[in-house]
Structure 1
Amino acid sequence: MAAQQSQGIQTLLEAEKEAAKVVQQARQYRVQRLKDARSEATKEIEAYKKTKEAEFKNFEASHAGVTQDAQAAVDKDTAGRLQTITDSYQKHKDVVVKKLLDRVVLVKPELHRNLKKVGQ
């Protein structure tokens, strides 16, 4: 009977070792599948990124002329407005300087409107 129990225990130990091997193989398989999935996802992401970059470059190339034309129009408008402002400055600077000097130099002493005369 002892031999039969010993043989049963031995069989259980061997079955446990075999089960541990199966579990270990399943873990390794799962880890490998995860690595494969990550590498596949990385490849798909890179391919998608290349496609979108190519689309963007095509879009940029097709609209580059429009941007340059708009920039040229803005530059021309800015130059025109700047010239107008410069002309106005040159035309009116003497008058403005004279008005400022008259205000500073020609002072009329007056009592402040909030000052009340003493005794009244």
Structure 2
Amino acid sequence: MASQSQGIHQLLQAEKRAKDKVEEAKKRKGKRSRQAKEEAMAETDQFRIQREKEFRMRQSKVMGSQSHLAEEIEEHTAGKMQGLKGSYSMGMDSVITRLLGMVCDIKPEIHVNYRAAN
């Protein structure tokens, strides 16, 4: 019987060692998964920073060219406005003169359909 209790005692000890090894393996697995998660987060942060930097460079390139285009459009518009003002001032005098001539210089005439009453 002593050999049976000794065998049971050895089995219990072996079971306890196996349980300890399983617990230790779980802890190592948890530690590895946390470490992998941290590494993945660091890698994604690095990737995000790189992409944001590229985005900002492209954005500044596009916005810079847009501001240059806006300046060109402003200059072009100002030039056209000056041309239109010049045309207006040149044509204004002749139009006013013709308009006043039509209104003020009236030549009375008898209409062609008028019949004189006897």
Give the TM-score range, shorter chain. Answer: 0.5 to 0.7
Give distance in 2, aligned partners of 1:32 and 1:10: 33
The yes-or-no answer on 1:24 pairing with 2:34 is yes
Question: What are the residue-to-residue correspondences of 1:78-93 with 2, within 5 Å?
Answer: 84=95, 88=99
Tell me, which stretches of 5 or more residues in structure 1 are unaligned? Answer: 93-120
Q: 1:60: how far off?
A: 4.1
Q: 1:71: how far off?
A: 2.0
Question: What are the residue-to-residue correspondences of 1:54-65 with 2, within 5 Å?
Answer: 54-62=64-72, 64-65=74-75
- Counterpart position of 1:72: 82
- Counterpart position of 2:47: 37
Give distance in 1, aligned partners of 2:19 and 2:91: 100
Q: 1:9: how far off?
A: 0.1
| Percent of matched pairs sharing the same residue | 12
Question: What are the residue-to-residue correspondences of 1:78-117 with 2, within 5 Å?
Answer: 84=95, 88=99
Q: 1:61: how far off?
A: 4.7
> In structure 2, what residue type is equivalent to 1:12?
V
Deviations 1:29-69 (A, max 9, x none): 12212211221111111111121123234444555543322
2:61 partner SS: helix
Aligned pair count reads 94
Tell me, which stretches of 5 or more residues in structure 2 are unaligned? Answer: 1-10, 104-118
Aligned Cα root-mean-square deviation (Å): 3.3
Match of 1:9 among 13, 19, 44: 19
Match of 1:51 among 52, 61, 67: 61
Q: Which has the larger radius of gyration?
A: 2
For the structure 1 residues 82 and 28, does the alpha-carbon distance in structure 2 shift closer, same or farther, using more than 3 Å as the test?
Answer: farther
For the structure 1 residues 81 and 13, does the alpha-carbon distance in structure 2 shift closer, same or farther, using more than 3 Å as the test?
Answer: farther
Give distance in 1, aligned partners of 2:79 and 2:36: 64
> In structure 1, what residue type is equivalent to 2:50?
E
Runs of 4+ in 1 over 2 A off after TM superposition: 53-68, 73-85
- Counterpart position of 1:97: none
